[in-house]
Amino acid sequence: MREIRKSLRRDKRGFTGLEAAIVLTAFIVVAAVFSYMVLGAGFFSTEKAKAVVHTGVEQATSSVELAGDVIGGGNTTANQIENVTLYIKLTAGENPVDMSKITIAFTDEYIYDSDLTYTSGTPSAGQWTYSFVKDQSGSAGDGDVMLESDEVAKLLIEFPATAGTGSDGGVDCYHWFQVEVKPEQGGVLGVKKTVPGEVDRYTVLN
């Protein structure tokens, strides 16, 4: 009898039954859970990468573009450009731009002003203002401060008093200047021009 029991303890052929099925099921469950975790982490990483790329594209691409000529306001006595008028509109597919949150910067060979002062009236040296251009229906915007897809805004930018070589804020002939239009979100619209050899009261700057 003792020999029979000893033989039964050593005989493992019965392990191919229920115990093997339990072990196999456990392996499948563990593998499934691990696979779900790996896939979940992959989906999360993909979404984060997509969001980063989308944000980068929004920041790199400009929200506004020029919608016409750049007009320099000239001082014919001093033969200088003292202000500039430009027209902007939204680029294709962009969201409306809040004009009250736009920043205007000015640069020439002598100074850099990163934030000209906004005024709702007539601008003086170092100030700027804007208005909406009337469309074919005779309306100038819809009454809010948002530049939308069917609207054009006119910007009048007076150069700082310290621009150029003198103290009157004028940029001399054959000298360059640059204004930058910086929306709250999106890329910067930079407009760099060189003053021609002769200045009129209103000069188209090429």
Same domain? For 75 and 162 the reply is yes
Residue 101: DSSP 8-state = G
Q: Are 97 and 144 in contact (CB under 8 A)?
A: no
Same domain? For 165 and 108 the reply is yes
Same domain? For 129 and 189 the reply is yes
| Domain range for 190 | 64-205
Q: Are 169 and 102 in contact (CB under 8 A)?
A: no
Same domain? For 84 and 169 the reply is yes
Residue 135: DSSP 8-state = -
- CATH code for position 112: 2.60.40
Give dist(CA 57, CA 75) in Å, integer: 41
Same domain? For 20 and 69 the reply is no
Count the domains in the chain.
2
pLDDT tens for 91-142 read 987 789 999 999 999 999 999 999 999 999 999 999 999 999 987 666 777 7
- Tell me how far apart the terminal alpha carbons of the chain are, to the nearest angstrom: 112
pLDDT tens for 19-32 read 777 777 877 878 77
Overall pTM > 0.75: no
Same domain? For 52 and 71 the reply is no
